[in-house]
Structure 1
Amino acid sequence: IPLQTTADLAAQIADALEHAHKFSIVHRDVKPANVMVAASGRCKLTDFGVAYVPSSTMTQTGAALGSPKYVSPEQVLGQKSDPRSDLFSLGSVLYEMLTGGSPFERPGDTSVFQIMNRIAGEPHPPLRSLEPQLPVGFERIVDRALAKRPEQRYQLAGDMAQELRKMQYADTAYDKTLLINPQKHAHNPLLDDLDEFTKRYDLEEQARLRAAEEERLKKEEQVRRWQEEEARKRAAYERERQAGEAARRLGAVEMLRKQGALQPRREDPAAARAKAMAKLDQDLRAATQYLAAFAKELNDVAPATSAPYDFLYLGRVAAATLSEAWCDSRPRRIEGKDYCEHVLLRFRVSPQPPARVTLQTADIPRFEQYLKAMKAVYDLRVDARSDFGEATRATFSVRSGLLCEVEIRADYEALAVTIDVTNVRRIGKVRGRIPAAAVSEMADELARYALGVDSEFAKRLTAV
């Protein structure tokens, strides 16, 4: 790609991010596959499917969303994303446009975790070490965009777009480029149509955000009424159960039931689906009660695990205890009925004895930030400092508070359950998809896996 075109396309992507950021929208998946370029050179950023907006109920921390080669260090570490995360991803895309390769991918890589570890802890190869003929200005832009710490990057996408446009007309880079006077083509009906489309899109987006906010307030009101509704349901269920026991005492009814059992029955599809949804809801509620009891036992006993736990930087923790557990669930109203949709289990790991690790230079503040985000209990000893007083080697001793999380979400359309597991015996997040028929066994398998008794549950999980 000519350097002038590269600078122009990257500047257009930055313009799109600047527009989204004005509405507090973080894209979180900037990559070449999500950039569309027309024959005219007009560039558009697409696929806001994993974007964060203020009204979104999507998990905002502890989730490494996005494509592994282009995610930011804070996404790798499970920290909250902000507009500067998008600028890091754009820096990776610009690097690949200029050199033809990813800044953190190496020949021989066998796992995305190798790339993610480099994103979190290793600097990228200097741009001009691969392409010496590139102008210095491009290297300056890429280095700033790929800074590990968000405060060292561009703070606004518009600032990055402005510097990229300067590179379009830099004499050192484009001594043979023909500059076209834009005034000759100032009036273009196509551009007028695009401007009108943009205005309509902005109005529709604002309306969508208002509707999402109203929906959020409605859900909060439903949650406030949830306990009262659950109590009424339990009372109604008990009345139905007692009425069923009385009905079973009637001999004639029992005889008719036996006769009906010998005859084939044709069940209505809608009734069959309602029954399957009710069964999934019942199994999820039973799983919630099981995990709540499991959490209580963890808090009372603080058991030792039978298998090791792995954590970023710490590596393998061979011996540990589990405690500070908590379990909760949230309903969803479907066709006038409440169904259990969201179950969350959290607990903390305490290494026995405390886990120790010695880190150097930039890894020291990154690991400390990682521990603070989890509210872990740790000691820090600085072993060496630079001439400027900055720590160059330090030893961490982590005593407790390493956070583990299990998030279960029901899909009543597909009659299945998605499970996201973070830091439970494996580094980072893994995901599993379980059919409704297997949900009744899920809670016990999960509890046994967390205790390290067996690894059957791990067969259901794949890396995110």
Structure 2
Amino acid sequence: MTVSMLGRYQIVAQLGRGAMGTVYRALDPAIERTVAIKTLNPDLPDENLPEVRERFLREAKSAGRLNHPNVVTVYDVGEADGIAYIAMEYLEGRSLRQVLDAGPPLALHTVTDIVSQIADALDYAQRYGIVHRDIKPANIMLSPAGLAKLTDFGVAYMPSSSMTQTGTVLGSPKYLSPEQVLGLPVDGRADIFALGVVLFEMLAGRTPFERPEITVYGLMQSICADPAPRVTELKRDIPEAFDSILARALGKRPDDRYQRAAEFASDLRNYKRITVTPADKTLIAPGAAADATVVVRPGAAPPESPPAPDPEMEQRMSQLLSDLETFSFNFEEEQRKLVEKAAAMMEERARAEAEAAQPQGTASRPKARSALVGLLQEQAKGKARPQPARPTLETVLALDAKLRRAFDILSEFVGEFNDAAPAFAGKLKLPYAGELPGLTMGDGFVDFRTLKFMDKPVIDHIALTYRMISDEKLSVTLNKDEARALKVQLERAEMKFEERDVVHFLHRVPRTALAIDCSVTARARLRADYGAQAVEFLCQNIGAIGAARYRIGAAQVNDEAIEEFGKRLLGLPNRFAELKSEG
């Protein structure tokens, strides 16, 4: 898309384009000032664009309040011809990403100076309650004079629904904090973690949790579960004080990190004053051997004992690891199929070349083998796992036609659904809280995305969303452990709640009172598996609170199956879960 004007700004040149936005150099004719214009790409998924645009503009306006030498100044925020944009300070220089990629490694004093400046910017943002969420080298600009500036406040955030729908992770996965991976609320300490990753990369030449050939799911698991290696073990010339600084910046729990970015900046500027002495315990690598080190700062109090484990984070971690295991299994299975297919093609080519090279009229001599070897080979054939048939254009188009029929049924259903605003006929239950009050259904939306098979557009997946709402609130009072477990479930279901501690004269320990907003968002994705000739139904809060997954063979994807799915959606008795996959 060619743009010549945005609002009053004259577009001069395109500077770059990413997945979410495009950056232009532009002129503000009112004061003849060169500015950088960042736009939100209008070709983002339709179901996310309004929400992303609203957050883009709202958070950019918040960022406009930041007036700091290490934050790129935001001049203006607006929307023109349906395109949301931000006008900001135009910077001469390169990004830290470009500097690191070009090499050579930066001098230690340069590293500490750049990261200290960005920490100053984050501390300033923390005072206003603004969280960047996407700290990475590409968002740090360096001027020829050595001034570091942080860019893209409020631009990098993407709703969690987009992450699950596209199969990718918001921002750059290498720089995510554990709470971002786990889907927990974030504050400025998530930015401190990400800046710690940037510092580690500047010192060691790689980020702390990446490994050769690691998958994105393996990376997220490592971010949450594995301690960061000591940078001094990777680079022997790095002072040991940086092990301590990185340990505090990269704590798995926010409470284990620097609480303010100013503390991070101070330690970087004074790293030569930090002394490291042998001790029986360590603050450097949680979970490391006991013969490590403990850090002593001038005037600092003795280190406290490590805090007790956080049950909520541990439960989230357990769920994450389970999800990652499922994703990893599916990914590895797909990779195995691709490898087998490539090997079969190479084998077929080699056989054809051998036959073409064989002289006419000659026959290949059969190999001598014993009867015992033949018997074993026959038994092996009987135990061989049958391989799924390779998809053909005919089978792919047949399943695509069924999915298009399913989309038509669901579209008609959603239209009637939105007009009727039916009551949910089933019972939705929460652990420790019981049944939700009567829910009214509405705000249904259905869409599909396509991919190409042999230049033919076919449906990749159908996406369905709707809401179930009640004006009543569900109130419950629980002990701390029960409340913690319920809150995890509510956050997974994306349900809002208020909590307060209550003390009753009959109880010696405080209890937690929760007031739950009974508004539930339900989502489903019907994903085509053309290779296995099946359709996978990935459901969230469909018929019951929580996630569920079903797989149905192509032969059973018909009007009856979709109608049974619709009954489940409405909370009516149904046989949908009884349908079995044939693939």
TM norm structure 2: 0.35
Tell me which of the two structures has the higher relative contact order, counting C-alpha pairs closer than 8 angstroms and 6 or more residues apart: 1
Tell me which protein shows more helix as a share of its residues.
Answer: 1
